[in-house]
Structure formats: structure tokens, C-alpha cells
Structure 1
């Protein structure tokens, strides 16, 4: 069972979990009419705050190999030009995610993804773990995650996934 959490809980998680005033106020307005890139940003930041985020291609592959059923989204940025080894890993990771019903969200830039997640090194991949109720019977979705699920469902059968443009800031 999947339950979307209340927007108020979503916003308050950012207010109580962040130390920077600018980060807290940027989530006060909700994500109901936000472009999909802003929605993706909100989902990534919330997962990072809640310690449900795995960053990096190697860490993502290792985590998925152990418990693929624990993950909801896989965000993937394009590899650096000429990096065929990373490209092959990403193609295999996409196939694995598709096989295990993990939503793949292609983003426009590894630089933006890395900056957004506060990584000092370039990250081309990020996984979001599922969030469970205290009794571990119900999967909980934030408003942003619920909207991303709807977006992914719209494009599930597309052979080529659209690229989500992450906000520059």
C-alpha cells in the first residue's frame, strides 16, 4: 500500500531538518504546480535530509545488488563524453531498474545533480530509497515523490525517457 503524506508534514520536515534559512523557506510554497525539475529537486533534497539517498554509480549498483526492492527512483545524468565504461554501466543499471520496477529519471546534468546534493565530486547517479510507515506495512510518499511517480508512469513504456531539467539553483 502506498500513501501520500500531507504537504504540511513535507514542508515541516525541511524546516526542522535544515539549518540554512534559505533552504527552509524555499520549501514553504509546496510543489503542486511546480515544473518537474523543481519537483525532482524537492524529492532529492527530502530524501537526502531523511538519509534515504544513495549517491554515485558504484554505490547505487552495490545497493541495488543487495536490496533492489528498497528503491523507488534512480536519477541518472548523462556520462562525460568519451566515457564508454560509465555509459555501459548506466545502460545495465537502467535495464536492472526497469526489471525491478524502479522509476528511472534522466536528468540533464551531473554537475547540477552533484551541486544539488552537496557532493564535492561529480555524481552521475542517485537512488532514493522507499520511505515506510513505522510498522513497515505502508509505503509513504511525499507530495513531490507522488508527483514524480505520476510523471514516471506517463513515460514508463517510452523507449527513450525524456530528460528532466534540474533547476540551476
Structure 2
């Protein structure tokens, strides 16, 4: 059950709720990194979505102002968004790439900057928050941080905002 009501999201406290969701998202990403239940990179995400979309619980699309001019990236985003909407995968846009890089380490195993434009949180081979395969919705409710993020996505869809934007709070 979502803890946020439509009135709470549309009230003057929206900025406070956005901070709460941003903090929850940071917690979700940290847990996913520890549990190896995260896929980082546009092409890696597309491969996973192609073979195993049922195990994806959240899709993050991240971009800075300079990335808004990258037509190829925007086409990838459009295709990924459409696929996620069709497969009932929660989607968020993240606008603070530098904070996202801090949370996720910012580089791949070879030391090259990681492609943080698309990130999937999935259940994969390990369990995320005690995943229940018969009832995935119940599994999401077991993790309070993931529940906050999923509820925010759901409430945003109720307001016809299919891809809400979150700015990760600075530390």
C-alpha cells in the first residue's frame, strides 16, 4: 500500500516528498549495488530488458543538460520508456548525474567512466528485499525504500506524469 496520497504529492510539501523519495532512491541503489541486483548502462539495460523484463522493478534514466542535445541518447530513452511502460516497469528520470556517480562509484571495472544514463534495479539471481516470486507486489512492500520509490512512480502516473523526475539530494 502506498503511504503517499494524491493530496500529499500535489500540496506545498511536494519538495519535501521529493527529498524523501530521493533519499529512498539512494538507499535502493546502495542496496542493489551490494546485492548485485543492478544493471548499469544503456546497452546492458537494453539486453536485460530484452531477455528478462519480468525481473526489473525500476528503470532510471539519467541525463544532464548537455545530454539533452544528444539525439541518439534521447532515442534510446524513448525506446526504453516505451518498453518499460508496456511491461509495467516503474521509470524515473534522474537529473543529478554527479550525485548518481557518487552513489554508484562512477567508473566500471577498467576504470573508465561508467555509462550511468540507464540503470535497472532487478531481482536477478539474488533476492532483493526478500523477493516473493508468486507475488512481486508483496515483495516490493517488504523494502520500505523501494516501496516509497514505487509509490512515487504510481502516484505520478495517476497524475499523467509517466516519467517523473527526481533530483538526488546532495551530501
TM (norm. structure 1) is 0.73
Q: How does 1:75-94 map to 2 (within 5 A)?
A: 75-78=60-63, 80-94=67-81
Call closer, same or farther: CA 1:146–1:66 in 2, change over 3 Å: same
- Greater share of strand: 1
Judge conservation of contact 1:53–1:126 (CA < 8 Å) in 2.
yes
Q: How does 1:36-47 map to 2 (within 5 A)?
A: 36-47=21-32
Q: 2:83: which partner in 1? A: 96
Call closer, same or farther: CA 1:36–1:62 in 2, change over 3 Å: same
Could you tell me how far 1:89 is from its partner in structure 2? 0.5
- Greater share of helix: 2
TM (norm. structure 2) is 0.72
Judge conservation of contact 1:75–1:125 (CA < 8 Å) in 2.
yes
| Structure 2 residues without counterparts, runs of 5 or longer | 2-18, 108-112
Q: 2:170: which partner in 1? A: 168
Q: How does 1:17-166 map to 2 (within 5 A)?
A: 35-78=20-63, 80-120=67-107, 121=113, 122-130=115-123, 131=128, 133=130, 136-139=133-136, 140-141=139-140, 142-157=143-158, 158-159=160-161, 161-166=163-168
Moved more, 36-45 or 105-114: 105-114
Judge conservation of contact 2:91–2:164 (CA < 8 Å) in 1.
no
Could you tell me how far 1:156 is from its partner in structure 2? 1.6
